[in-house]
Amino acid sequence: MVLRYVEDKFNDQHIQTLQATFLNKKLNIGGKRINLAIWDTAGQERFHALGPIYYRMSNGAILVYDITDEDSFQKVKNWVKELKKMLGSEICLSIAGNKVDLDKERNVPVEVAEEYAKAVGAIHFHTSAKQNLGIEELFLELTQRMMERAQALELQKANELTRTNSMRRNIVIVDEDEPAPPTRSCCGT
């Protein structure tokens, strides 16, 4: 859902879209060239166990839930737990409450979601794929955070080892998770 929007949106900026589930976006933040690889993973429960194959090398994840669907929010919580367990603090998390255009039907209270995000060290965003709300910000903020984290790690490593390896980490992978199939059905139109 977000992905679809991202795809369309990024297409305007001459981004090669080779596949619907995989996107590459080149960004320039603070004079550094960044290549953002965005992977969509299957959110269905039956594939849950296979998640690690997808996300083990990633630097960040966006977990999307549907604000009208309490269940999808619970699934985001599961994902957060799993990602934290598997990747520790190395991964940057963003949580996106999607479909804010349907605020009337909201089932996940804003405070609850934001509080939860804060508690797990994630940043919460309100998005609407349909109306293109908050998506650019979501990706930009996450990318910046991933860069900071990568630089901090590098610095740490450099301090630990006297000989520094100046290889810049400019490949950033974002895992994009669509928590539940019902999340997306009504927004596709």
Partner 1 sequence: MDNTFFSWFGTDNVNIAIKSPKLAHFHLCRRTKKKKYYEILYLVLPPTAPIVSYQVGVWREYKFYNKWLSTKKMWSYICENDGNNGQRCRLSDDKNVCIPEVWTKERSDSLDQPLQKTREWCSLAAPIRSFAFQLATVKRTGFGEKVDRFISCTMEDKRASPKIVMSNMRQFMTGMKNFVVALTEKEFKRTLTSTEYLNLYAILERVMHKLVVRPLKEHLYKLFVEEYSDTGAIQLLAENIKYARKHPEDIGITFNILSSEESMDEICSYLQLMQDVYSPLEKMDCLRKSIDSIVKAVKRSVNRGGMCGADEILPFFIWVLVQSGMVAAEIQADYMKGLLEQSELDKGEVGYCLTTLLTAVEYLKSINPSRTPLRMETRTVLQVEEIGSKMKIIVLLNDISDSILIKTLLVKPNMTSEDVCKMIARKVRVTNPQDYALHKIIDGEETILDALDCPQAILRNI
Q: Which residues bind partner 1 (CB under 8 A)?
A: 1, 3-4, 18-22, 24, 35, 37, 39-50, 52-54, 57, 78, 85-86, 171, 173, 178, 181, 184-185, 188-189
Taking the complex as a whole, the smallest distance from the CB of residue 176 to partner 1 amounts, in Å, to 9
What 3-state DSSP class applies to 11?
helix
94 Cβ contact partners less than 8 Å away, ≥ 6 residues apart: 60, 61, 62, 63, 122, 123, 124, 125, 138, 141, 142
* Shortest CB 188 distance to partner 1, Å: 5
Q: How far is the CB of 184 from partner 1 (least distance, A)?
A: 8
Map tokens 């927004």 to a residue: 187
Cβ closest to partner 1, residue 36 vs residue 67: 36
What is the nearest approach in angstroms of partner 1 to the Cβ of residue 139?
A: 15
Nearest to partner 1 of 58, 68 (CB atom) = 58
Query: Is the Cβ of residue 57 or residue 112 nearer to partner 1 in the bound state?
Result: 57
Buried (b) or exposed (e) across 100-137, using 16+ Cβ within 10 A?
bebeeebebeeeebbebbeeeebbbbbbbbbeebbbee
Cα–Cα distances (Å) from 127 to 75, 98, 137, in that order, read: 18, 5, 9
72: phi then psi, degrees, rounded to nearest 5: -65, -30
Min CB(102)–partner 1 separation in Å: 17
Distance CA 78, CA 44 (A): 12
Instruction: Look up residue 170 and give its amino acid.
Output: N
Closest CB 165 distance from partner 1, rounded Å: 15
For residues 140 and 35, what is the distance between their CA atoms, to the nearest angstrom? 12
Minimum CB distance to partner 1 smaller for 21 or for 107: 21
Using the minimum distance from each CB to partner 1, give the nearer residue, 147 or 174. 174
When the beta carbons of 36 and 93 are compared against partner 1, the nearer one is 36
